[in-house]
Structure 1
Amino acid sequence: MPTFFLEVLTPERKFYSAEAEEVIFRTVDGEMGVLAKHAPTVVAVDIGPIKIKADGKWIVALVTEGFAEIMPDRVVILTDTAEYPEEIDLNRAKAAKARAEEKLQKHLSQMEYARSKAALARAMARLKITNQK
């Protein structure tokens, strides 16, 4: 299967940097899959799993908000956070989920509401990627 160069970058680290056969991630419009020779485009990345196929094997991780630049021979994903399931602190994710749910029960400003919804989405994605509820 043809490959392309994939980089997943966060402000703190180079999360992934190698050849890949396929990458699947969430965008604001739904899930998107990319193969080699994809048409050039830029998309907004949404909170959710990222699936990378390399050497015939799938790697699953979590990414949060960001952007992806897609070219025929390379894909660069710039994201706020990228985590492998084993890097996720379950207790912290559960506490963050509880805090966000509690905040959403209160009368919040539009900004606070949006932040709480995003925090809840991140916490739930972390729990889902580690197969927790």
Structure 2
Amino acid sequence: MADERLFRLKIITPDRVFYEGDASMVELKTSEGEIGVYANHIPLTTILAPGVVKITEPEGMKQAALYSGFVEILKDKVTILAEVAEWPEEIDINRAKEAKIRAERRLSSNESGIDELRAEMALRRALTRIELGRK
């Protein structure tokens, strides 16, 4: 008999199935704030925000960086469709720091025509990479 405290978690990006396994909890950032999901959660579909996802497995915890997408939560399954997902060892911390500097410059400049939302998202992605890359 299956453990009812576990649910199936699948994280999919456009180029791969990033993660697939059983989890007892997943914590992630949504457009409405951070949420934690256990088995038997009420059904919910929400928008993913850039941040660190924490996956609690029977063997321990894993962390990864996720950037924009959608999350579907069902009673026994959670599916995350992410634009990009990265394990800590896949992150180039120097490149993330350079991206942070570029995004901050764009946001602080008074240039007309700058896409402020795009620059803010670039900054969030860089900060997430830096946060996870340091662990």
Question: What residue identity is the alignment partner of 2:115?
Answer: E
Specify the alignment match of 1:107 in structure 2.
110
Contact 2:31 2:47 in 1 (8 A): yes
Specify the alignment match of 1:5 in structure 2.
8
Q: Given the alignment, which residue of 57, 64, 68 partners 1:65?
A: 68
Shift of 1:29: 1.4
Q: In the alignment, does 2:25 pair up with 1:22?
A: yes
- Give the 3 Å change call, closer, same or farther, for CA 116–84 of structure 1 in structure 2: same
Question: What residue identity is the alignment partner of 2:27?
Answer: I
Q: In the alignment, does 2:82 pair up with 1:79?
A: yes
Shift of 1:19: 1.0
Shift of 1:131: 2.2
| RMSD, aligned CA | 1.5
Which portions of structure 1, spanning 4 or more consecutive aligned residues, are displaced by more than 3 angstroms?
Answer: 108-111
- Give the 3 Å change call, closer, same or farther, for CA 118–86 of structure 1 in structure 2: same
**TM-score between the two structures when normalised by the length of structure 2:** 0.91
CA distance in 1 between counterparts of 2:35 and 2:112 reads 32
Aligned pair count?
A: 132
Unaligned runs of 5+ in 1: none
What is the percentage of aligned positions where both structures have the same residue? 40
Describe the SS at the equivalent of 1:64: strand
